[in-house]
Chains A and B, each alone.
Chain A
């Protein structure tokens, strides 16, 4: 019954992704200390008139109305200031799986993000400001178990066949097969044979040059019984698998993950002592690393899957089995190596389940590590931020100017107690034109931005001026569709952080709703 409810998303991130969400999102907590106002009714769908009439807190109302959505989830609300919440929080009672901050107050942003950084809680900041939407993610380290970046070329090891594959290919004597069976030999087998034939006729030399490649194509064509034999056409289409760089060995980014200090025994011990949230990930990486060096002769474990190819059922299933068996054998070695590491650092033997290990091995080519810059460092305008902004502007991603304008607005608010262009006293319906005039605020905002730009070595130009004026026009307003879009992006990123699938946003996402464009300011080192 419940699986049915989540059917459309399980099809996307799988049963294990759904299980991760369930473990984490079994409760939610809304912290806010304001009463519900009429203005909230124009902004937020999860408040109602009853809350305004009865002076109910926004947190309580929103919690109650959100709760209706799913009775498997328990919602809580706390009507306290964020300062008090942080002071009273004790990680012993309840570990927060994710913290989302939606405040436009710079001090609250910095305080909450610092708190999360210290507790290794993934921090998501999501705000909307007029037609501008912003999302930022910050966590010291996030490990992606499966970036779901589908490999274009499958890892079939056609030019470095393992023993079982070679033996399997011997079952297909191409010359003596009858026409029907000849046209059903899987292309993987054909290419292994073509590779061997090339090596035999070239004194054991691997194909490298353009001429070599042409020689292999000619060879394949010479084996065809008819000019349109489909399995051979497929072999021709995929024959670059023979000479392209092998996926068996770790690529550059995977190499740097394997080399990381966290894969060393001392590194793992340190993580055990600190209760690092990515401990499992790093033990598994260490186990794979040992496999590559000790058992795999520099090769990663096999993935074990075979893409569909023209073939009769039996040959295809046989081929599948060869790859799967070999992969399982390698994954079991890694499981043993992982168990050994666990024992060495004093962890329970069943700290990692075999299924977890096997899943990890299958996706080894699709793992990633992201280390973010903290908001503290960023707000001191460090070099990481300067470089990130510069590279955005160099790429003509002009929405980066909105980042600068936003920072200036936060600073303006901190100094003046209101946002530039915000209508503070009196109602707009009084039609008093002076209420709407933002020229004074603009001058001050531009001044702040100018100082800011200097500290970041950015030249203040007309585009930034326009952006600052536009921000004054917004006057700290919140438009529902922009808030909904920003919230949607934040929700998506939370799913990625929890399921550890897909690569999350690498810093700030800036949506410019006036022009329907966006930019990302990357504040993260990928390894």
Chain B
């Protein structure tokens, strides 16, 4: 075979982009411009360099994308090595994004790949703005919500109120758990977004506190007792030190206390692995599901960038537990979606005698908002800022105040939270018998 290097490497991609077929997108026009676009112009961001991220980088690079950046805050851990195939034993402790990018660059010549060892929340709008496509392989719901809203926030409208399509950056999102997974395509402001069907990802279930404290029955109850009740009481690693599931000393402490409690109650099954799983809410992960979901995301990226076929509209479920099953369907845009729709302010009923701290607690428990550290303002007057420390200091005196001293019935307050780049409008109604959950 006397073929040239690049021609040879690209032969399969040429064949599919230079010919039309009945399954091509209606705006597909076969041309070598398509591969040239992939090579020279199209910039892709891969968010997460974990199980999905490693696969995505390889898949995108071999699908003809040549300008790729990857961002991840984590460093390589030994438990990653069963599936995150760009990492080796000697990489343990090094930044994932950098190791992954270096590996791809070494294997695939001519690629332009950059790794960012950084937090996605810390990147400015300009960072995200430079990409044509964003592909996410994240396990955290919070991070995916944040990314979704950030891309929605970048969409601009023309003078006539229509969407300026040049500002729309499609988001392809993958997720896995065991032999199950999903891939979806989100065109911000044009198709259903992550927030439109947040209910597809139910909030984590936790064990009732009274069971943990009084009537433990399962090994999990004993572990929760050690981490939720004993830890704050005894502060075994110094005052204020939080439980770190990646710190073996912390896990060992909890495991041992849980074991003592289990022995006392004759409960069997407390192990180190279970303890770590409960503390970190570990989701089982296998290499094959990551390969399948990432490949499907990369395929959608390729279709979006070339139109060789219709991109997924807009959600594909995968289940490999019994046989192999996929199901593609269209999730619908929610008119009143707080991220991409025309949302009315969320109505919150409170008792006028509650304190501001009570209100914040209720907001933190709200299963739709799912916020951790909200800040609140009312007609641009600060009610409470959770950060930075100086503003927290300045506003915390409001916390014990009753709401009727701070607010007027029916007023609109604005909530901001690190998880929600767009923030949320709330409308406060006073009602004497409003109850807090528990």
A-side residues, CB < 8 A to B, are 1, 4-12, 37-39, 41-43, 45, 48-49, 68-70, 130-131, 135, 147-149, 184, 308-313, 316-317, 421, 423, 427-429, 431, 436, 438, 466-467, 469-470, 472-475, 477-482, 484-485, 487-489, 491-493, 495, 502-506, 509, 511, 513-518, 520
Our count of residue pairs bridging A and B at CB distance below 8 angstroms stands at 241
Q: For A12, list chain B residues within 8 Å (CB).
A: 178-179, 284-286
Does B78 count as interface, using CB distance less than 8 angstroms?
yes
Please name the residue on chain B nearest to A9 by beta carbon.
Answer: B286
Separation in Å of the B255 CB from the closest CB of chain A?
A: 15
Separation in Å of the A50 CB from the closest CB of chain B?
A: 11
Q: A312-B215, A313-B216, A477-B15 are in contact. Are A42 and B310 (CB under 8 A)?
A: no
Q: For A41, list chain B residues within 8 Å (CB).
A: 8-9
A317–B265 touching, CB < 8 Å: yes
Separation in Å of the B248 CB from the closest CB of chain A?
A: 10
Please name the residue on chain B nearest to A465 by beta carbon.
Answer: B22
Please name the residue on chain B nearest to A468 by beta carbon.
Answer: B22
Does B267 count as interface, using CB distance less than 8 angstroms?
yes
B11–A495 touching, CB < 8 Å: no
Complex-state Cα separation, A18 to B217, whole angstroms: 28
Within 8 A of A (CB), among B291-319: 291-292, 294-296, 298-300, 302, 308-310, 312, 316
A495–B288 touching, CB < 8 Å: yes
Separation in Å of the B7 CB from the closest CB of chain A?
A: 5
Please name the residue on chain A nearest to B316 by beta carbon.
Answer: A516
B217–A311 touching, CB < 8 Å: yes
B267–A474 touching, CB < 8 Å: no
Complex-state Cα separation, A502 to B289, whole angstroms: 14
B15 partner, pick from A68, A423, A467, A505, beta carbons under 8 A: A423
B273 partner, pick from A9, A10, A131, A485, beta carbons under 8 A: A10
Q: For B286, list chain A residues within 8 Å (CB).
A: 8-9, 12, 492, 495
A475–B15 touching, CB < 8 Å: yes
Most buried by A among B4, B13, B19, B109: B19
Please name the residue on chain B nearest to A480 by beta carbon.
Answer: B62
A43–B309 touching, CB < 8 Å: no
A513–B15 touching, CB < 8 Å: no
**15 A-B pairs (CB sep. < 8 Å):** A9-B287, A12-B284, A37-B3, A39-B8, A42-B9, A310-B215, A313-B266, A429-B4, A469-B22, A479-B302, A480-B59, A484-B55, A489-B324, A515-B309, A516-B328
B8–A42 touching, CB < 8 Å: yes
Does B199 count as interface, using CB distance less than 8 angstroms?
no
Q: For A480, list chain B residues within 8 Å (CB).
A: 58-59, 62-63, 298
Complex-state Cα separation, A479 to B294, whole angstroms: 14
Complex-state Cα separation, A385 to B335, whole angstroms: 47
B5–A38 touching, CB < 8 Å: yes
Please name the residue on chain B nearest to A516 by beta carbon.
Answer: B312
B16–A48 touching, CB < 8 Å: no
A308–B3 touching, CB < 8 Å: no
Q: A48-B107, A520-B323 are in contact. Are A5 and B82 (CB under 8 A)?
A: yes
Complex-state Cα separation, A303 to B409, whole angstroms: 58
A147–B322 touching, CB < 8 Å: yes
B8 partner, pick from A1, A37, A311, beta carbons under 8 A: A37
Q: For A513, list chain B residues within 8 Å (CB).
A: 299, 309
Separation in Å of the B54 CB from the closest CB of chain A?
A: 10
Q: For B328, list chain A residues within 8 Å (CB).
A: 515-517
Does B201 count as interface, using CB distance less than 8 angstroms?
no
Q: A6-B82, A466-B23 are in contact. Are A518 and B326 (CB under 8 A)?
A: yes
Complex-state Cα separation, A487 to B295, whole angstroms: 10
Q: For B299, list chain A residues within 8 Å (CB).
A: 131, 479, 481-482, 485, 513, 516
9 nearest A-B residue pairs (beta carbon): A38-B8, A488-B291, A473-B21, A42-B9, A12-B284, A485-B295, A480-B62, A492-B288, A484-B295
Complex-state Cα separation, A311 to B78, whole angstroms: 40
B294–A484 touching, CB < 8 Å: yes
B11–A428 touching, CB < 8 Å: yes
Please name the residue on chain A nearest to B106 by beta carbon.
Answer: A48
Q: A8-B285, A131-B23, A489-B288 are in contact. Are A316 and B323 (CB under 8 A)?
A: no
A7 partner, pick from B4, B79, B290, beta carbons under 8 A: B79
Q: A311-B217, A488-B291 are in contact. Are A8 and B21 (CB under 8 A)?
A: no
List 5 extra interface pairs beyond A130-B16, A520-B324, CB under 8 A: A311-B217, A429-B14, A492-B286, A509-B324, A511-B326
Separation in Å of the B305 CB from the closest CB of chain A?
A: 12
Separation in Å of the A302 CB from the closest CB of chain B?
A: 18
A516–B23 touching, CB < 8 Å: no
Please name the residue on chain B nearest to A493 by beta carbon.
Answer: B324
B324–A135 touching, CB < 8 Å: yes
Separation in Å of the A65 CB from the closest CB of chain B?
A: 9
B289–A316 touching, CB < 8 Å: no
Complex-state Cα separation, A493 to B277, whole angstroms: 26
Q: A5-B79, A492-B288, A513-B299 are in contact. Are A481 and B63 (CB under 8 A)?
A: yes
Complex-state Cα separation, A505 to B292, whole angstroms: 15
Does B400 count as interface, using CB distance less than 8 angstroms?
no
